[in-house]
Amino acid sequence: MSETIKEKFIINGFAGKKSLKGKLRVSGAKNAALKLLPASLLFEDKVLFSNVPEIEDIGRMADLLRGSGAIVKKKERGVYEIDPSKIKNGDLDYEISKRLRASVVLTGPMLSRFGKVTFPHPGGCVIGARPIDIFLEGFEKMGARTSAVKKGDKESFVIKARGGKLHGAEIFFKQQSVTATETFMMAGVLAKGKTILKNSAMEPEITHLAEFLIKGGAKISGAGTTTIEIEGGGMLKMGGQEFKVMPDRIETGSFLILAVLAGKDIEITDCNPVNIEALIELLKLSGAKIKIGETNIIVKENKNLKSVSVKTHEYPGFPTDLQSPMVVFLTQTKGESLVFETIFEGRLNYTESLVRMGANIEIWDPHRIMVKGPSNLKGKVLESPDLRAGLAFVIASIVAKGESVVHNVYNIDRGYEQIEERLKKIGVDIKRVKN
């Protein structure tokens, strides 16, 4: 959906009734696919991906790759073929990069392959400061220099590798960062010598990316731990093999929260429950009855849920991307719950809208809130501030009494594939309309 097409969701809530039934299919992981597509630049032949989520951010990334000279073909729904052989340089489209935070990961493979990359400060959701100094400092350790170039009101970074090629380095991340870990893991694949990444993030998407690169011939060890080693070499080759994108753990968790809140008999399919153990344990502590399978989760009707406190943390801790749906959950539990957002400042701003719906939430400071429940939520007109809080508003609207209108659906479409169609299948009264 184009950002210029303004659409909204109209949702009739169930006033806390446990009425939803059916199956909810989990899509391919947004945060995995957005790194796998750029990783294709490290290959000398065509790469085929399946289970790619059909979301706005994937479209943007595909456009970025096309703008750089790659041939990106959609073979069928969720299946993309990328031919990176025609890319000639590392210049990224200014406008698309500005609107897509994940564009920064392209700097790793671009710089590794061409010895130069030009890009603006990347954009994305407004959920607090996301500085890129961690990237610039890391590339300097790998033998690159950074300069700023301004054309009119457009300012870009230009990073050049001394001698035209990156060299291996030891990089200690001052804070764990999924995007930085992935970017430098890709940068190290074609660099000269060994790259060692310390205090690396451990998210499943990082291990997934490493598995893809290793399948093409990369020498990577330690992915999924805090220390990753990459032995640089030549271009990778896929040899016609297909690579399937892992299930989206954030979508899995969001669906699970909705199922516990409003489900009578729901099965969440095509997922990997192991990746959301932190959420599952908290929900069980709250009193939820959940049946866990290898690739599915079954939720029957749950009653008498009690409060639990939540502290977001890097994986394997509680994901910051599930914090807003979890707060909606806590408004329906009995007792007081402290929510401590440790990753992003400003990510609790959406709670003001939940208070308008009738939630009892005290904001202590930019990182902490107290949720008192249960509260009877009432339908309101809402504005989606980012993709995660946007889905949280959808969940809150389903639980609430009366009609809610969720504007700025574009933000939700950035991360969730045909969300209203899947929700309709389990009984949610939701429709998409143009403003």
Active site residues per annotation: 125
Q: Three-state DSSP class for 406?
A: strand
First to last CA, the chain: 14
Q: Three-state DSSP class for 79?
A: strand
8 Å CB contact between 405 and 8: yes
Among 329, 344, 338, 427, CA closest to 385: 344
* Alpha-carbon span 31 to 150, nearest angstrom: 31
Between 249-262 and 323-330, two packed helices, what is the crossing angle to 10 degrees?
10
* Alpha-carbon span 205 to 185, nearest angstrom: 12
Give bridge partners of residue 140 from the DSSP assignment: none
* Beta strand 20-25 pairing with 263-269: parallel
Whose tokens are 């990359």? That residue is 117
Whose tokens are 């959420």? That residue is 279
* Alpha-carbon span 184 to 15, nearest angstrom: 48
∠ Cα 303 27 61 (to 5°) = 135
* Beta strand 154-161 pairing with 194-198: unpaired
Between 178-189 and 107-114, two packed helices, what is the crossing angle to 10 degrees?
20
Between 30-39 and 249-262, two packed helices, what is the crossing angle to 10 degrees?
170
Whose tokens are 């909204």? That residue is 8
